[in-house]
Structure 1
């Protein structure tokens, strides 16, 4: 890759850096890790107007070169070490035109590293609406670098940016923006001499960051510590002096290049809206109202598409039994693979809607407000405000949510966040909730507009968030640490969602759900069908002989005989033996042996629960009557008592169990990866299992 020009993309959070990266690289992207650390490395290939291909490295968003997290440490690590595989030939700094003063702080730091720089001045359309006048030519002349105006959300200015990159060799040598040597002259001189560094600002930054820099040896680190003591170097005081000098420089630049004719309109409107949406009382009420509207809509809008998908799969099963030759292969295909897939694919409309709503909340800027509001609550239970980001992200999937906890500086806060994030109900639980709610919660409307099923769904999600917070509070008392943390977040102005972005998010989420969950479901369905279709010894032969005896079948119709024979075979199959072995342990929760099998198989992925139910009830049924998994489960009865299996007590007990239990192998794997210690995923698994068992037991005993 070194034969290609390498461009580092750098910028503050919420400046549109990811949008510009996507616009430059399109689909030519890949995700990896920076060498030696578990921080995501996003790279892409872009084609310039002259046909040249360049490599673009998207560095983590940061407000300055002084890191506040593991992600932010990477920025200086890459930009200061010429031996780093991601070291750039050119730095592209993305700056928000509406907040130029703060964004130029990062520019001045990178410029003082001596790297060639281009500024991509994004959100120029918003600056114009806010009556800001930025003299681009004057700004470029004062900074002595190319400044390219952009409106990345509208794909405006991208070609001009590519042309500027194409002519990067004509960018003049960067001159220092401030005199950094006056901050700690003797220390900078000694570090420069010791490490053979020519740039004084690199030496100063090493004085600040040497404890975290991977490219320094232990001996070098110790020597720099000794120099700090020798020259009585105080990192915070030095940072303060530097920041003041930089803002003096920035103010001088902006005085001649930027004019404000009035208060920015969008910012003014956003502030007025925030008066209500971030209010300490009404803000939370509005948030609950938003959740209520989302889950009401998910149930209301997904009903007909779900019914259509169910009908298609039932029709496919009927056609399969009608036209395919009888035999084990046909049964495997229809009762195993097709049944397993049908039980999960039916929830595609709800998955798509959930991710569409999440995307809209993020795009409009409201999700940032939710994070800000929840920060107050997090503080009271002893967590960092940054813990809110993984918890909110857990609504979609716990795996990336846990990875996002890397931005939390405090070890204690990070560990607690990782330990409680899987309690937040993710999209994988949605099919289970939907299926069980549809069995026991009536399709009724309260007060003419409140859907009872949507209300039940929202209650489960709120319960998961409340439980995560309470468990975090308990862990705060158990896990000891003296480190303090803080929370800095910029609230972007409110904007209309980008509908193409919402559409892409829906497509990608459904695609991931179908491909990732689908592969697991097919594999589990095949294994499960084999286990449910065959049994130990000669039990199946004895059952066949039993139902050929006239005394046994007397008084039963052929359909009833087929159902009784299939039910007894399933109970005596390998799957039945497995389920029966754990049934005594789960019976107090209202679960039978079939549910027990589903609890085991769904550890591969929670969605597999529905596929398991579909496979088991397809094997244990009448081939002449094709029904959806919901219909089969609704009619399922206990052979000993004759009572319905999925009563209100059992269904809610099962929902609570899945709300709290760690039924996800991928989540455990990522917890191990992030903590580097097997004890944390094991503790997480057993405490969540104990919580799930206790809560399910209480719910079942109350409702039965």
Structure 2
């Protein structure tokens, strides 16, 4: 059996690479109608024909072979670096047929690297709607490489592509026999010197080594010195050479287009996408429609999820009560019911909302509307030191801050990228959703505004908008302190509108639910069991006198009497208060009590640093351990609603609920986010700065809102 070969998928952003990756590998790789989604290389395996296995590498989209951002450099290194572990044996260039002229620039550069190349033409249906007809055989002759038309969304042309891949792997196709342009003539003396110092596969490869020698990690000190000397001797002008190369390529592309492509007069044809954009990108109505879309999104999260959430919550309450009644009363039952089961119920109830949120976001991305949001908000972003590209990570932050921060690699400007990283965690991620949902259900009445607008949905929308506007305000402040002067431009192609792929939507919903259950769920259950132990046991100096005191009192009370039940509840409450968890909570309570938080909330604030959604599991465990077994039928919401301060006041008032939601909206409580920020910035200073300013912001805002509403 032949050893697996490496196949790199490359192309312009939003050209269909990830769709083809899915079609070839069968992996559930996220695919979005939104430029910049692939911000790191993704790999999968595919059997092209029996006996021929391949490693498929989906590389970030780029418009040319001159990297300007971190994600483009990922693609550049795989293609240029001969020692890269993913060095491709074959390159499949995914080219958008409806924008062929622009795509051919990148194609021509890859061809001149003298690697075996196959061009996969996508968007042929859109090209035809634009009145564009392509002579594929003629284009194949002009470029000197095989070309196949595909539609990976509908699995059309994929079989033909596999046949060509097989032929290329068997040696029937090799690198293009001739250069697209005369690369050696651009800087002959320099390319000759580079080829003497470094084994380069082509004149064009040698030219790129000369241009980026200082940044290339596979060159040793001696090679860099030799290249540096050649550049100086021959007075090599990088900018001039690049400009000359691009001009020559476009001149050749112009002749190829004239010979192989027939286009109707663009004034005679206006796509449906352009007509829709006249409304959705309108300077006034565009923003109104955006707000309506946001409102419907958050109303749907409550409306659609309410029934399955109530069913799950009620089922766990009944299961807990039933298990308590049938299982023997011992420590194993206690840890299972009040530790493991309470932790599972704490996160399982929010699975419907997680699925609905990601499903609706996928619909917006798949249809092409998410990219329009970037254009609508570009003007606002520029006023605070960012640009429209910063909106992509901010929008992604609604799902999770970790991939959102990785998505900042598409931002070329260093200052804008740093500020975007600093403010992205302020966006309300899906981990905050369970906390918002729980507190809104506790303290916000289920009323209607104007008879049709749900108040709870409005509050939820307000929290998400609050995160966005706070991110904008903080960005404006940081603009004054981050001293990096570099001009930036916002150029992004708008994808055409398409019907959502419901299979993709369903796959995303199931996958996100699975990730929530397996990743967050494991953390929540482990912490719940640890909390059960901390809440069930305490120092013997405190616990022994407590047990002795209540054993006498309960023994003296008639069995089964209201007095005995009251004493049992009092004993469990004091035992929890004297436990290790209670001691820790009471130690930090003075610092958080001004915000309206009791010691149980304090413990949840600490455990939330593992993951914000741990809050619900923590509360479920603490309220289960401290309750009478007969109360296990009650839901967590009912237990929290009946929680009281020592003086009899309810813990979860409107003021306390708003304060808690605001704290979680702004606080930096995610170790994973801090780790990814450190990785992206290569410094601990930035995540420490985030932790400091976000925690301070959360505390001050919570303090203000609590005092206003109490």
SS in 2 for 1:152: coil
Residue by residue, what CA displacement relative to the aligned partner does 1:131-178 show, whole Å, maximum 9, x if unpaired?
Answer: 322222222222222111111111111111000001112225411111
Contact 1:387 1:414 in 2 (8 A): yes
* In structure 2, C-alpha distance between the alignment counterparts of 1:426 and 1:220, rounded to whole Å: 47
SS in 2 for 1:495: coil
Contact 1:9 1:57 in 2 (8 A): yes
Partner of 1:634: 641
* In structure 2, C-alpha distance between the alignment counterparts of 1:448 and 1:354, rounded to whole Å: 25
Alignment map for 1:48-87 (pairs within 5 Å): 48-87=48-87
SS in 2 for 1:55: strand
CA RMSD of aligned residues (A): 2.3
Contact 2:98 2:123 in 1 (8 A): yes
Match of 2:260 among 257, 262, 265: 257
Contact 2:7 2:89 in 1 (8 A): yes
Give 1:558 shift. Answer: 3.8
Partner of 1:372: 375
Alignment map for 1:398-409 (pairs within 5 Å): 398-409=401-412
**307 and 39 in structure 1: CA distance in 2 versus 1, 3 angstrom threshold:** closer
Give 1:53 shift. Answer: 1.1
Residue by residue, what CA displacement relative to the aligned partner does 1:416-470 show, whole Å, maximum 9, x if unpaired?
Answer: 2211111111000000000000011111111122110000000000000111111
Give 1:281 shift. Answer: 3.3
* In structure 1, C-alpha distance between the alignment counterparts of 2:80 and 2:680, rounded to whole Å: 26
Give 1:384 shift. Answer: 4.1
* In structure 2, C-alpha distance between the alignment counterparts of 1:2 and 1:453, rounded to whole Å: 60
Match of 1:607 among 597, 609, 613: 613
**562 and 419 in structure 1: CA distance in 2 versus 1, 3 angstrom threshold:** same
Contact 2:554 2:564 in 1 (8 A): no
Partner of 2:242: 239
SS in 1 for 2:236: coil
Give 1:229 shift. Answer: 3.8
**579 and 209 in structure 1: CA distance in 2 versus 1, 3 angstrom threshold:** same
Does residue 617 (structure 1) correspond to residue 629 (structure 2)? The answer is no
Alignment map for 1:93-108 (pairs within 5 Å): 93-108=93-108
Structure 2: where are the runs of 5+ without partners?
31-37
Contact 2:343 2:524 in 1 (8 A): yes
Give 1:258 shift. Answer: 1.8
Contact 1:183 1:238 in 2 (8 A): yes
Does residue 563 (structure 1) correspond to residue 569 (structure 2)? The answer is yes
Give 1:616 shift. Answer: 0.9
Residue by residue, what CA displacement relative to the aligned partner does 1:579-614 show, whole Å, maximum 9, x if unpaired?
Answer: 000000111111111111111111111001111111
Contact 1:355 1:506 in 2 (8 A): yes
Higher mean Cα deviation, 499-508 or 232-241? Answer: 232-241
**541 and 126 in structure 1: CA distance in 2 versus 1, 3 angstrom threshold:** same
Partner of 1:90: 90
- Post-superposition, which runs of at least 4 consecutive aligned residues in structure 1 deviate over 6 A? 264-267, 550-555
Structure 1: where are the runs of 5+ without partners?
31-37
Contact 1:127 1:264 in 2 (8 A): no
Match of 1:549 among 549, 553, 562: 553
Give 1:219 shift. Answer: 4.1
Alignment map for 1:253-652 (pairs within 5 Å): 253-261=256-264, 263=266, 268-547=271-550, 548-549=552-553, 556-625=562-631, 626-638=633-645, 640-652=646-658
**332 and 551 in structure 1: CA distance in 2 versus 1, 3 angstrom threshold:** closer
Give 1:539 shift. Answer: 3.1
* In structure 1, C-alpha distance between the alignment counterparts of 2:270 and 2:179, rounded to whole Å: 33
Contact 1:390 1:421 in 2 (8 A): yes
**552 and 252 in structure 1: CA distance in 2 versus 1, 3 angstrom threshold:** farther
Higher mean Cα deviation, 127-136 or 100-109? Answer: 127-136
TM-score by length of 2: 0.94
* In structure 1, C-alpha distance between the alignment counterparts of 2:426 and 2:535, rounded to whole Å: 32
SS in 1 for 2:43: strand
Higher mean Cα deviation, 579-588 or 478-487? Answer: 478-487
Partner of 1:209: 212
* In structure 2, C-alpha distance between the alignment counterparts of 1:129 and 1:448, rounded to whole Å: 45
**29 and 132 in structure 1: CA distance in 2 versus 1, 3 angstrom threshold:** closer
Higher mean Cα deviation, 431-440 or 98-107? Answer: 98-107
Partner of 1:699: 705
Number of aligned residue pairs: 696
Give 1:376 shift. Answer: 2.0
* In structure 2, C-alpha distance between the alignment counterparts of 1:602 and 1:73, rounded to whole Å: 35
SS in 2 for 1:88: coil
SS in 1 for 2:630: coil
* In structure 1, C-alpha distance between the alignment counterparts of 2:672 and 2:175, rounded to whole Å: 49
Partner of 2:33: none
Give 1:672 shift. Answer: 1.6
SS in 1 for 2:575: helix
* In structure 2, C-alpha distance between the alignment counterparts of 1:267 and 1:5, rounded to whole Å: 43
Alignment map for 1:187-226 (pairs within 5 Å): 187-197=190-200, 199-226=202-229
**216 and 576 in structure 1: CA distance in 2 versus 1, 3 angstrom threshold:** same
* In structure 1, C-alpha distance between the alignment counterparts of 2:433 and 2:506, rounded to whole Å: 20
* In structure 1, C-alpha distance between the alignment counterparts of 2:354 and 2:648, rounded to whole Å: 35
Higher mean Cα deviation, 110-119 or 38-47? Answer: 38-47
* In structure 1, C-alpha distance between the alignment counterparts of 2:353 and 2:207, rounded to whole Å: 53
SS in 2 for 1:93: strand
Contact 1:29 1:44 in 2 (8 A): no
Contact 1:28 1:44 in 2 (8 A): no
SS in 2 for 1:170: coil
TM-score by length of 1: 0.95
Residue by residue, what CA displacement relative to the aligned partner does 1:296-331 show, whole Å, maximum 9, x if unpaired?
Answer: 111111110000001110121022112111111101
